[in-house]
């Protein structure tokens, strides 16, 4: 499956916090054999959220994180509803559950986090207050990393798993010294993804794909060409 990950939050754009959520999601999806084709970071703006979500609907599934709290700038759900042309509905059963779990919480705040696009499937958040939810082919989750991970791991199994294998090779050369050999392997193994990541004093070459034998042969071929 192909995914787009949309991270919502002014704090991400200002650099106040790092976007660890997108990294976590991409890593988990990749390990399951799926592909993240695009990552986007956008502000807490209803219109921007709506536009980005609409533009992303060409993929199999869209994942949105951030902006599900009860403060004035938590407007992700409004943006999702606008993108899908759906009205917002208070889920009384979810509200009653949160009242039991958080008896001292402000009811106005709880009502906001229990309001979803009509027809959404709510995903319980066992770490925090704001639940996640699925509407159409969009998964929306809180931005707090621990809460996002809790919700995401509940949903991840339904995406299924595709054969995936990866291996790495460390080469103590400059990347510029192996361009010819790398290009040769890339051309010979079009079904294997080959990434080159320069470090201080060496280069990490990552080989990945759905066929373990092909991945291993691509690595062996590069070793042969480099004379290692």
- In order along its 228 residues, the chain shows pLDDT tens digits of 999 999 999 999 999 999 999 999 999 999 999 999 999 999 999 999 999 999 999 999 999 999 998 888 899 999 999 999 999 999 999 999 999 999 988 999 999 999 999 999 999 999 999 999 999 999 999 999 999 999 999 999 999 998 889 999 999 989 999 999 999 999 999 999 999 999 999 999 999 998 999 999 999 999 999 988
pTM of the complete model: 0.85
What is the overall mean pLDDT for the chain?
94
Alpha-carbon distance 56 to 4, whole Å?
A: 7
Structure tokens at 156: 């991840």
Is CATH 3.40.980.10 the classification given to domain 2-159? Answer: yes
What one-character DSSP code corresponds to residue 85? T
* Strand ranges, E, within 31-156: 35-42, 61-65, 88-90, 115-117, 121-123, 132-135, 138-141
User: Helix/strand/coil (H, E, C) string of 10-23?
Assistant: HHHHCCCCCCHHHH
Are 163 and 33 in contact by the 8 Å Cβ rule? The answer is: yes
* CATH topology agreement for domains 2-159 and 165-226: no
pLDDT of residue 13: 95
Domain ranges of the chain: 2-159, 165-226
CATH number of 165-226: 3.30.70.2860
Q: Tell me how far CA of residue 116 lies from CA of 97, 183, 214, in angstroms.
A: 15, 49, 45
pLDDT of residue 218: 95
């Amino acid at each position: 499956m192909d995914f787009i990950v949309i991270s919502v939050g002014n704090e991400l754009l200002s650099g106040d916090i790092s976007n660890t959520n997108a990294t976590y999601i991409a890593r988990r999806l990749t390990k399951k054999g799926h592909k993240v084709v695009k990552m986007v970071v956008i502000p807490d703006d209803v219109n921007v959220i709506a536009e980005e979500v609409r533009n992303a609907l060409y993929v199999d599934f869209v994942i949105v994180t951030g902006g599900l709290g009860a403060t004035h700038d938590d407007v992700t759900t409004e943006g999702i509803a606008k993108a899908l042309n759906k009205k917002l509905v208070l889920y009384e059963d979810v509200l009653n559950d949160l009242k039991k779990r958080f008896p001292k919480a402000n009811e106005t705040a709880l009502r906001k986090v229990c309001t979803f696009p009509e027809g959404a499937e709510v995903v319980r958040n066992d770490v925090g207050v704001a639940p996640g939810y699925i509407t159409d082919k969009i998964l929306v989750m809180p931005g707090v990393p621990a809460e996002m991970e809790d919700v995401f791991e509940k949903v991840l199994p339904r995406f299924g798993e595709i054969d995936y294998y990866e291996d790495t090779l460390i080469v103590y050369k400059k990347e510029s010294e192996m361009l010819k050999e790398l290009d040769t392997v890339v051309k010979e193994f079009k079904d294997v993804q080959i990434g080159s990541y320069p470090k201080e004093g060496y280069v990490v070459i990552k080989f990945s794909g759905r066929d373990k034998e092909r991945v291993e042969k691509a690595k062996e071929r590069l070793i042969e060409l480099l004379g290692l």
